Structure 1
Protein backbone atom coordinates (compact mmCIF):
# COMPACT_ATOMS: atom_id res chain seq x y z
CA UNK A 1 0.00 0.00 0.00
CA UNK A 2 1.42 3.45 -0.88
CA UNK A 3 0.00 4.92 2.38
CA UNK A 4 -0.73 3.04 5.58
CA UNK A 5 -2.23 4.05 8.91
CA UNK A 6 -0.27 3.17 12.05
CA UNK A 7 -1.65 0.11 13.86
CA UNK A 8 -4.17 0.88 16.63
CA UNK A 9 -2.45 -1.59 18.95
CA UNK A 10 0.99 -2.24 20.39
CA UNK A 11 3.14 -4.10 17.88
CA UNK A 12 4.31 -6.64 20.43
CA UNK A 13 0.70 -7.80 20.90
CA UNK A 14 0.53 -8.82 17.23
CA UNK A 15 3.39 -11.30 17.28
CA UNK A 16 1.21 -14.27 18.21
CA UNK A 17 -1.71 -13.35 15.92
CA UNK A 18 -0.35 -12.89 12.37
CA UNK A 19 -3.70 -12.10 10.79
CA UNK A 20 -5.55 -10.96 13.89
CA UNK A 21 -8.63 -13.07 13.11
CA UNK A 22 -8.30 -16.27 11.09
CA UNK A 23 -11.91 -16.12 9.91
CA UNK A 24 -10.65 -13.94 7.07
CA UNK A 25 -7.70 -14.42 4.74
CA UNK A 26 -5.71 -12.13 2.41
CA UNK A 27 -7.76 -11.02 -0.62
CA UNK A 28 -11.12 -11.60 1.10
CA UNK A 29 -13.44 -8.60 0.66
CA UNK A 30 -15.16 -7.35 3.80
CA UNK A 31 -18.26 -5.20 4.02
CA UNK A 32 -17.74 -2.91 7.02
CA UNK A 33 -20.29 -0.96 9.07
CA UNK A 34 -17.67 1.72 9.67
CA UNK A 35 -14.10 2.64 8.82
CA UNK A 36 -11.83 3.66 11.66
CA UNK A 37 -10.61 7.25 11.29
CA UNK A 38 -6.94 8.10 11.33
CA UNK A 39 -5.37 11.54 10.94
CA UNK A 40 -2.95 10.17 8.34
CA UNK A 41 -5.62 9.00 5.89
CA UNK A 42 -5.73 10.66 2.43
CA UNK A 43 -8.70 12.98 1.71
CA UNK A 44 -10.25 10.59 -0.85
CA UNK A 45 -10.72 7.72 1.62
CA UNK A 46 -14.04 8.80 3.17
CA UNK A 47 -15.73 9.38 -0.20
CA UNK A 48 -14.49 6.05 -1.56
CA UNK A 49 -15.75 4.17 1.48
CA UNK A 50 -19.11 5.94 1.30
CA UNK A 51 -19.55 4.77 -2.32
CA UNK A 52 -18.54 1.20 -1.57
CA UNK A 53 -18.15 0.30 2.13
CA UNK A 54 -15.80 -2.60 1.45
CA UNK A 55 -12.14 -3.28 2.12
CA UNK A 56 -9.77 -6.07 1.15
CA UNK A 57 -7.89 -8.11 3.73
CA UNK A 58 -4.16 -7.43 3.34
CA UNK A 59 -1.10 -9.26 4.61
CA UNK A 60 0.10 -7.73 7.88
CA UNK A 61 0.40 -8.77 11.48
CA UNK A 62 -2.54 -7.71 13.61
CA UNK A 63 -3.53 -8.06 17.23
CA UNK A 64 -6.55 -10.14 18.18
CA UNK A 65 -9.75 -8.33 17.28
CA UNK A 66 -8.17 -6.36 14.44
CA UNK A 67 -7.80 -7.00 10.70
CA UNK A 68 -5.32 -5.41 8.32
CA UNK A 69 -7.34 -4.01 5.40
CA UNK A 70 -6.86 -2.01 2.23
CA UNK A 71 -9.25 0.66 0.95
CA UNK A 72 -9.33 1.50 -2.75
CA UNK A 73 -10.73 4.29 -4.90
CA UNK A 74 -11.20 4.77 -8.64
CA UNK A 75 -7.54 5.05 -9.62
CA UNK A 76 -4.66 2.63 -9.18
CA UNK A 77 -2.71 5.25 -7.24
CA UNK A 78 -5.39 5.58 -4.59
CA UNK A 79 -4.79 2.72 -2.18
CA UNK A 80 -4.75 3.03 1.59
CA UNK A 81 -3.71 0.49 4.20
CA UNK A 82 -5.85 0.66 7.31
CA UNK A 83 -7.21 -1.44 10.18
CA UNK A 84 -10.68 -2.72 10.92
CA UNK A 85 -12.17 -4.12 14.08
CA UNK A 86 -13.60 -7.61 13.74
CA UNK A 87 -16.91 -6.47 15.25
CA UNK A 88 -17.36 -4.06 12.33
CA UNK A 89 -17.43 -6.81 9.68
CA UNK A 90 -20.95 -7.22 8.33
CA UNK A 91 -20.20 -9.71 5.55
CA UNK A 92 -17.27 -11.29 3.79
CA UNK A 93 -16.71 -12.82 0.36
CA UNK A 94 -13.76 -14.91 -0.81
CA UNK A 95 -12.27 -14.76 -4.33
CA UNK A 96 -13.56 -18.24 -5.17
CA UNK A 97 -17.12 -17.27 -4.16
CA UNK A 98 -17.00 -14.54 -6.80
CA UNK A 99 -16.86 -17.13 -9.57
CA UNK A 100 -20.61 -17.49 -9.06
CA UNK A 101 -21.21 -13.76 -9.58
CA UNK A 102 -21.76 -12.21 -13.02
CA UNK A 103 -21.06 -8.59 -13.94
CA UNK A 104 -24.07 -6.45 -14.71
CA UNK A 105 -25.42 -5.59 -18.15
CA UNK A 106 -22.96 -4.10 -20.61
CA UNK A 107 -20.11 -4.52 -18.11
CA UNK A 108 -19.87 -8.12 -19.29
CA UNK A 109 -18.31 -6.89 -22.54
CA UNK A 110 -15.19 -5.56 -20.81
CA UNK A 111 -12.10 -7.65 -21.71
CA UNK A 112 -11.27 -8.65 -18.12
CA UNK A 113 -14.78 -10.01 -17.57
CA UNK A 114 -14.75 -11.82 -20.93
CA UNK A 115 -11.47 -13.48 -19.97
CA UNK A 116 -12.82 -14.49 -16.56
CA UNK A 117 -15.94 -16.02 -18.09
CA UNK A 118 -13.80 -18.02 -20.51
CA UNK A 119 -11.54 -19.26 -17.73
CA UNK A 120 -14.53 -20.36 -15.64
CA UNK A 121 -15.79 -22.53 -18.48
CA UNK A 122 -12.68 -23.76 -20.25
CA UNK A 123 -9.45 -23.42 -18.25
CA UNK A 124 -8.26 -27.01 -17.88
CA UNK A 125 -5.27 -26.21 -15.68
CA UNK A 126 -7.44 -24.47 -13.07
CA UNK A 127 -10.05 -27.22 -12.80
CA UNK A 128 -8.42 -28.99 -9.84
CA UNK A 129 -7.91 -25.80 -7.80
CA UNK A 130 -9.92 -23.35 -5.72
CA UNK A 131 -9.42 -20.00 -7.37
CA UNK A 132 -11.10 -16.70 -8.06
CA UNK A 133 -10.69 -13.06 -9.11
CA UNK A 134 -9.11 -10.35 -6.97
CA UNK A 135 -8.14 -6.76 -7.81
CA UNK A 136 -10.59 -4.52 -9.63
CA UNK A 137 -12.55 -7.45 -11.10
CA UNK A 138 -13.09 -9.03 -7.69
CA UNK A 139 -13.96 -5.66 -6.17
CA UNK A 140 -16.61 -4.92 -8.78
CA UNK A 141 -18.18 -8.37 -8.55
CA UNK A 142 -18.36 -8.14 -4.76
CA UNK A 143 -19.58 -4.55 -4.48
CA UNK A 144 -21.32 -3.67 -7.74
CA UNK A 145 -19.11 -0.56 -7.93
CA UNK A 146 -17.78 -0.08 -11.52
CA UNK A 147 -14.05 -0.51 -10.83
CA UNK A 148 -13.05 -2.31 -14.07
CA UNK A 149 -12.01 -0.44 -17.22
CA UNK A 150 -11.30 -1.59 -20.76
CA UNK A 151 -7.58 -1.85 -19.91
CA UNK A 152 -7.88 -3.49 -16.48
CA UNK A 153 -5.78 -6.52 -15.65
CA UNK A 154 -7.45 -9.70 -14.49
CA UNK A 155 -5.93 -10.59 -11.11
CA UNK A 156 -6.41 -14.13 -9.85
CA UNK A 157 -5.78 -15.98 -6.60
CA UNK A 158 -5.10 -19.72 -6.93
CA UNK A 159 -5.04 -21.76 -3.74
CA UNK A 160 -2.38 -24.49 -3.71
CA UNK A 161 -2.07 -26.01 -0.23
CA UNK A 162 -0.43 -29.08 -1.82
CA UNK A 163 2.65 -28.91 -4.01
CA UNK A 164 2.31 -27.38 -7.47
CA UNK A 165 4.97 -28.90 -9.68
CA UNK A 166 7.11 -26.75 -11.95
CA UNK A 167 5.57 -28.46 -14.98
CA UNK A 168 2.06 -27.70 -13.74
CA UNK A 169 2.98 -24.06 -13.09
CA UNK A 170 4.38 -23.73 -16.62
CA UNK A 171 1.25 -25.24 -18.14
CA UNK A 172 -1.03 -23.02 -16.06
CA UNK A 173 0.89 -19.86 -16.93
CA UNK A 174 0.87 -20.76 -20.63
CA UNK A 175 -2.89 -21.29 -20.62
CA UNK A 176 -3.56 -18.03 -18.76
CA UNK A 177 -1.29 -16.10 -21.13
CA UNK A 178 -3.20 -17.51 -24.09
CA UNK A 179 -6.50 -16.21 -22.70
CA UNK A 180 -4.89 -12.88 -21.83
CA UNK A 181 -3.49 -12.51 -25.34
CA UNK A 182 -6.85 -13.29 -26.87
CA UNK A 183 -8.48 -10.40 -24.97
CA UNK A 184 -5.49 -8.06 -25.16
CA UNK A 185 -5.10 -7.77 -21.38
CA UNK A 186 -2.74 -8.99 -18.68
CA UNK A 187 -3.64 -11.84 -16.33
CA UNK A 188 -1.69 -11.69 -13.08
CA UNK A 189 -2.03 -14.86 -11.01
CA UNK A 190 -0.86 -15.30 -7.44
CA UNK A 191 -0.57 -18.78 -5.96
CA UNK A 192 -1.43 -19.10 -2.27
CA UNK A 193 1.02 -21.58 -0.70
CA UNK A 194 1.84 -22.51 2.91
CA UNK A 195 4.71 -20.00 2.72
CA UNK A 196 2.48 -17.17 1.46
CA UNK A 197 1.43 -15.70 -1.86
CA UNK A 198 3.78 -16.27 -4.80
CA UNK A 199 3.48 -15.01 -8.36
CA UNK A 200 2.67 -17.86 -10.73
CA UNK A 201 5.21 -16.42 -13.18
CA UNK A 202 7.96 -16.88 -10.57
CA UNK A 203 7.01 -20.51 -9.95
CA UNK A 204 6.94 -21.16 -13.68
CA UNK A 205 10.35 -19.52 -14.18
CA UNK A 206 12.04 -22.29 -12.21
CA UNK A 207 14.08 -19.96 -10.00
CA UNK A 208 16.00 -21.57 -7.11
CA UNK A 209 14.16 -19.20 -4.73
CA UNK A 210 10.90 -17.33 -5.11
CA UNK A 211 9.42 -14.35 -3.30
CA UNK A 212 6.66 -15.32 -0.88
CA UNK A 213 4.44 -12.60 0.58
CA UNK A 214 2.99 -13.18 4.03
CA UNK A 215 1.99 -11.27 7.14
CA UNK A 216 5.57 -10.65 8.29
CA UNK A 217 6.65 -9.28 4.92
CA UNK A 218 8.18 -10.73 1.74
CA UNK A 219 10.78 -13.48 2.05
CA UNK A 220 12.74 -15.61 -0.42
CA UNK A 221 12.01 -19.33 -0.09
CA UNK A 222 13.43 -22.35 -1.85
CA UNK A 223 10.36 -24.53 -1.34
CA UNK A 224 7.00 -22.85 -0.61
CA UNK A 225 5.56 -26.17 0.57
CA UNK A 226 8.33 -27.00 3.03
CA UNK A 227 7.78 -26.71 6.78
CA UNK A 228 11.38 -25.52 7.25
CA UNK A 229 11.45 -22.42 5.08
CA UNK A 230 13.94 -19.74 5.97
CA UNK A 231 14.13 -16.24 4.58
CA UNK A 232 16.88 -13.98 3.34
Structure 2
Protein backbone atom coordinates (compact mmCIF):
# COMPACT_ATOMS: atom_id res chain seq x y z
CA UNK A 1 0.00 0.00 0.00
CA UNK A 2 1.44 3.45 -0.90
CA UNK A 3 2.45 5.72 1.96
CA UNK A 4 1.80 8.84 -0.08
CA UNK A 5 -0.76 9.84 -2.70
CA UNK A 6 0.47 10.74 -6.16
CA UNK A 7 0.73 14.52 -6.60
CA UNK A 8 -2.39 16.06 -8.19
CA UNK A 9 -0.23 18.28 -10.39
CA UNK A 10 2.41 17.86 -13.09
CA UNK A 11 6.01 17.38 -11.96
CA UNK A 12 7.16 20.53 -13.77
CA UNK A 13 4.74 22.59 -11.64
CA UNK A 14 6.30 21.50 -8.35
CA UNK A 15 8.43 23.98 -6.45
CA UNK A 16 9.77 24.56 -2.95
CA UNK A 17 6.96 26.00 -0.80
CA UNK A 18 7.33 29.67 0.04
CA UNK A 19 7.07 30.75 3.67
CA UNK A 20 4.74 33.47 2.39
CA UNK A 21 1.89 30.97 1.98
CA UNK A 22 1.39 31.12 5.74
CA UNK A 23 2.05 27.47 6.65
CA UNK A 24 5.28 25.77 7.62
CA UNK A 25 6.26 22.16 8.16
CA UNK A 26 4.67 20.72 11.33
CA UNK A 27 1.87 23.29 11.42
CA UNK A 28 -1.53 21.66 11.88
CA UNK A 29 -4.31 22.55 9.45
CA UNK A 30 -8.04 22.25 10.03
CA UNK A 31 -9.70 21.22 6.78
CA UNK A 32 -13.33 21.30 5.71
CA UNK A 33 -12.56 18.82 2.93
CA UNK A 34 -10.02 16.08 2.31
CA UNK A 35 -9.63 15.17 -1.35
CA UNK A 36 -9.82 11.47 -2.23
CA UNK A 37 -6.93 9.97 -4.20
CA UNK A 38 -6.50 6.53 -5.75
CA UNK A 39 -4.99 3.95 -3.41
CA UNK A 40 -5.92 5.75 -0.20
CA UNK A 41 -5.80 3.46 2.86
CA UNK A 42 -9.21 2.52 4.27
CA UNK A 43 -8.51 4.11 7.68
CA UNK A 44 -7.97 7.64 6.30
CA UNK A 45 -11.66 8.62 6.03
CA UNK A 46 -12.42 7.45 9.58
CA UNK A 47 -9.39 9.30 10.92
CA UNK A 48 -10.40 12.51 9.15
CA UNK A 49 -13.99 12.24 10.40
CA UNK A 50 -12.68 11.85 13.95
CA UNK A 51 -10.29 14.81 13.71
CA UNK A 52 -10.42 16.90 10.51
CA UNK A 53 -6.84 18.08 10.85
CA UNK A 54 -3.60 17.27 9.05
CA UNK A 55 0.03 18.21 9.52
CA UNK A 56 2.02 20.17 6.95
CA UNK A 57 4.83 18.01 5.58
CA UNK A 58 7.93 18.91 3.59
CA UNK A 59 7.41 18.32 -0.13
CA UNK A 60 7.57 20.16 -3.44
CA UNK A 61 4.14 21.54 -4.30
CA UNK A 62 2.37 23.37 -7.08
CA UNK A 63 0.74 26.72 -6.51
CA UNK A 64 -2.53 26.52 -4.53
CA UNK A 65 -1.61 23.14 -2.97
CA UNK A 66 -0.10 22.15 0.36
CA UNK A 67 1.48 18.79 1.23
CA UNK A 68 -0.13 17.24 4.30
CA UNK A 69 0.03 14.13 6.43
CA UNK A 70 -2.96 12.34 7.97
CA UNK A 71 -2.51 10.25 11.09
CA UNK A 72 -4.67 7.36 12.29
CA UNK A 73 -4.94 5.69 15.67
CA UNK A 74 -2.08 3.25 15.11
CA UNK A 75 1.61 4.16 14.89
CA UNK A 76 1.74 2.61 11.42
CA UNK A 77 -1.17 4.72 10.18
CA UNK A 78 0.51 7.70 8.56
CA UNK A 79 -0.41 8.84 5.07
CA UNK A 80 0.98 11.65 2.96
CA UNK A 81 -1.51 13.40 0.74
CA UNK A 82 -2.42 16.86 -0.61
CA UNK A 83 -4.91 19.61 0.06
CA UNK A 84 -5.93 22.70 -1.85
CA UNK A 85 -5.31 25.91 0.02
CA UNK A 86 -9.03 26.71 -0.36
CA UNK A 87 -9.86 23.61 1.71
CA UNK A 88 -8.09 25.02 4.79
CA UNK A 89 -10.21 26.67 7.48
CA UNK A 90 -7.56 27.37 10.12
CA UNK A 91 -4.02 26.58 11.15
CA UNK A 92 -2.05 26.30 14.38
CA UNK A 93 1.72 26.20 14.83
CA UNK A 94 3.61 24.02 17.32
CA UNK A 95 4.72 27.09 19.29
CA UNK A 96 1.10 28.22 19.65
CA UNK A 97 0.25 24.87 21.27
CA UNK A 98 2.62 25.27 24.23
CA UNK A 99 0.09 27.32 26.20
CA UNK A 100 -2.71 24.83 25.46
CA UNK A 101 -1.02 22.25 27.69
CA UNK A 102 -1.89 24.29 30.79
CA UNK A 103 -5.63 23.83 30.24
CA UNK A 104 -5.64 20.06 29.67
CA UNK A 105 -7.81 17.79 31.84
CA UNK A 106 -5.80 16.41 34.76
CA UNK A 107 -6.24 12.83 33.56
CA UNK A 108 -4.34 13.72 30.36
CA UNK A 109 -1.95 16.31 31.80
CA UNK A 110 -0.29 13.70 34.03
CA UNK A 111 0.79 11.58 31.08
CA UNK A 112 4.62 11.67 30.81
CA UNK A 113 4.83 13.56 27.47
CA UNK A 114 2.54 16.31 28.74
CA UNK A 115 4.27 16.33 32.12
CA UNK A 116 7.62 16.85 30.38
CA UNK A 117 6.10 19.56 28.20
CA UNK A 118 4.75 21.41 31.24
CA UNK A 119 8.13 21.10 32.96
CA UNK A 120 9.92 22.58 29.94
CA UNK A 121 7.40 25.42 29.78
CA UNK A 122 8.12 26.31 33.42
CA UNK A 123 11.89 26.19 32.89
CA UNK A 124 12.27 29.90 32.12
CA UNK A 125 16.03 29.97 32.74
CA UNK A 126 16.99 27.10 30.43
CA UNK A 127 18.43 27.64 26.92
CA UNK A 128 15.16 26.59 25.26
CA UNK A 129 13.65 29.82 26.61
CA UNK A 130 15.57 31.75 23.91
CA UNK A 131 13.66 30.10 21.06
CA UNK A 132 10.20 29.75 19.57
CA UNK A 133 9.37 26.09 20.10
CA UNK A 134 6.47 23.74 20.57
CA UNK A 135 5.17 20.17 20.52
CA UNK A 136 4.84 18.18 17.31
CA UNK A 137 3.91 14.52 16.80
CA UNK A 138 1.22 12.93 18.95
CA UNK A 139 1.37 15.58 21.69
CA UNK A 140 0.90 18.43 19.25
CA UNK A 141 -1.91 16.59 17.49
CA UNK A 142 -3.82 15.97 20.72
CA UNK A 143 -3.42 19.55 21.89
CA UNK A 144 -4.74 20.83 18.55
CA UNK A 145 -7.63 18.39 18.18
CA UNK A 146 -8.52 17.42 21.77
CA UNK A 147 -8.65 13.83 20.49
CA UNK A 148 -6.73 11.45 22.83
CA UNK A 149 -3.60 10.46 20.94
CA UNK A 150 -0.80 10.36 23.50
CA UNK A 151 -0.11 7.28 25.62
CA UNK A 152 2.11 6.77 28.64
CA UNK A 153 4.82 5.33 26.38
CA UNK A 154 4.71 8.10 23.75
CA UNK A 155 7.77 10.18 22.97
CA UNK A 156 7.60 13.96 23.18
CA UNK A 157 8.45 15.42 19.78
CA UNK A 158 9.50 19.06 19.76
CA UNK A 159 10.10 21.56 16.99
CA UNK A 160 12.57 24.39 17.67
CA UNK A 161 12.58 27.32 15.27
CA UNK A 162 16.17 28.29 14.46
CA UNK A 163 16.19 30.84 11.63
CA UNK A 164 19.69 31.93 12.69
CA UNK A 165 22.76 29.73 12.98
CA UNK A 166 22.99 27.70 16.18
CA UNK A 167 26.51 27.03 17.42
CA UNK A 168 27.37 23.54 18.62
CA UNK A 169 27.88 24.55 22.26
CA UNK A 170 24.40 26.04 22.42
CA UNK A 171 23.03 22.94 20.72
CA UNK A 172 24.66 20.73 23.33
CA UNK A 173 23.22 22.90 26.13
CA UNK A 174 19.76 22.55 24.58
CA UNK A 175 20.17 18.79 24.30
CA UNK A 176 21.26 18.53 27.94
CA UNK A 177 18.24 20.56 29.09
CA UNK A 178 15.85 18.36 27.13
CA UNK A 179 17.52 15.20 28.43
CA UNK A 180 17.10 16.37 32.03
CA UNK A 181 13.37 16.86 31.54
CA UNK A 182 13.07 13.60 29.60
CA UNK A 183 14.75 11.71 32.43
CA UNK A 184 12.44 13.36 34.95
CA UNK A 185 9.38 12.18 33.03
CA UNK A 186 10.84 8.80 32.12
CA UNK A 187 10.37 9.30 28.38
CA UNK A 188 12.32 10.17 25.24
CA UNK A 189 12.28 13.76 23.97
CA UNK A 190 13.09 14.06 20.27
CA UNK A 191 13.81 17.61 19.07
CA UNK A 192 14.08 18.85 15.51
CA UNK A 193 15.62 22.17 14.50
CA UNK A 194 13.66 24.08 11.87
CA UNK A 195 16.45 25.66 9.81
CA UNK A 196 16.38 27.62 6.52
CA UNK A 197 17.44 24.41 4.73
CA UNK A 198 14.88 22.15 6.42
CA UNK A 199 14.56 19.97 9.50
CA UNK A 200 17.67 18.80 11.36
CA UNK A 201 17.78 16.55 14.43
CA UNK A 202 19.12 18.51 17.39
CA UNK A 203 21.06 15.46 18.62
CA UNK A 204 22.78 15.11 15.25
CA UNK A 205 23.79 18.78 15.09
CA UNK A 206 24.97 18.75 18.71
CA UNK A 207 27.14 15.68 17.99
CA UNK A 208 29.47 17.81 15.89
CA UNK A 209 29.23 15.82 12.66
CA UNK A 210 30.80 17.41 9.60
CA UNK A 211 27.55 16.92 7.68
CA UNK A 212 24.03 16.35 8.96
CA UNK A 213 20.87 15.00 7.38
CA UNK A 214 18.44 17.75 6.46
CA UNK A 215 14.80 17.03 5.68
CA UNK A 216 14.27 19.31 2.70
CA UNK A 217 11.16 19.68 0.55
CA UNK A 218 12.99 17.97 -2.31
CA UNK A 219 14.06 15.07 -0.09
CA UNK A 220 16.65 14.28 2.61
CA UNK A 221 20.16 15.62 2.03
CA UNK A 222 23.52 15.54 3.77
CA UNK A 223 24.84 19.09 4.16
CA UNK A 224 27.49 20.86 6.21
CA UNK A 225 25.64 24.07 7.12
CA UNK A 226 21.83 24.04 7.47
CA UNK A 227 21.84 27.85 7.66
CA UNK A 228 23.45 28.31 4.26
CA UNK A 229 21.54 28.25 0.98
CA UNK A 230 21.05 24.61 0.12
CA UNK A 231 23.39 23.38 -2.58
CA UNK A 232 21.64 21.06 -5.02
CA UNK A 233 24.96 19.25 -5.45
CA UNK A 234 24.90 18.15 -1.80
CA UNK A 235 24.39 14.43 -1.29
CA UNK A 236 20.78 13.31 -1.78
CA UNK A 237 19.85 10.36 0.41
Band the TM-score falls in, shorter-chain normalisation:
over 0.9
Q: Which moved more, 1:27-36 or 1:2-11?
A: 2-11
CA displacement at 1:89 relative to structure 2: 0.3
CA displacement at 1:20 relative to structure 2: 9.3
Query: SS at the partner of 1:47?
Result: helix
User: Is contact 1:20-1:63 (8 Å) kept?
Assistant: no
Query: SS at the partner of 2:199?
Result: strand
CA displacement at 1:191 relative to structure 2: 0.3
CA displacement at 1:104 relative to structure 2: 2.5
- Alignment match, 2:214: 212
Q: Structure 1 residues 203, 20: CA separation in 2 closer, same or farther (over 3 Å shift)? A: closer
- Alignment match, 1:95: 94
1:197 paired with 2:199, answer yes
Q: Structure 1 residues 10, 171: CA separation in 2 closer, same or farther (over 3 Å shift)? A: same
- Alignment match, 1:142: 144
CA displacement at 1:11 relative to structure 2: 1.1
- Structure 2 distance, partners of 1:4, 1:86, is 18
CA displacement at 1:22 relative to structure 2: 2.3
1:231 paired with 2:234, answer yes
- State TM-score, norm by structure 2: 0.94
1:107 paired with 2:96, answer no
- Structure 2 distance, partners of 1:43, 1:170, is 43
Aligned length, in residue pairs: 230
- Structure 2 distance, partners of 1:201, 1:140, is 25
Which digits, 9 at most, give the CA deviation of each residue in 1:18-50, with x for residues without a partner?
369721110000000011001211000000000
CA displacement at 1:126 relative to structure 2: 0.6
- Alignment match, 2:13: 13
User: Is contact 2:197-2:230 (8 Å) kept?
Assistant: no
In structure 2, the gaps of 5 or more residues are none
Runs of 4+ in 1 over 4 A off after TM superposition: none
RMSD over aligned Cα, in angstroms? Answer: 1.4
User: Is contact 1:19-1:59 (8 Å) kept?
Assistant: no
1:60 paired with 2:59, answer yes
Query: SS at the partner of 1:173?
Result: helix
Query: SS at the partner of 1:101?
Result: helix
User: Is contact 2:51-2:145 (8 Å) kept?
Assistant: yes
Match 1:221 to one of 217, 220, 223: 223
Q: Which moved more, 1:210-219 or 1:221-230?
A: 221-230
- Structure 1 distance, partners of 2:117, 2:123, is 10
- Structure 2 distance, partners of 1:62, 1:226, is 22
CA displacement at 1:111 relative to structure 2: 0.3
- Structure 1 distance, partners of 2:55, 2:138, is 11
Query: SS at the partner of 2:17?
Result: coil
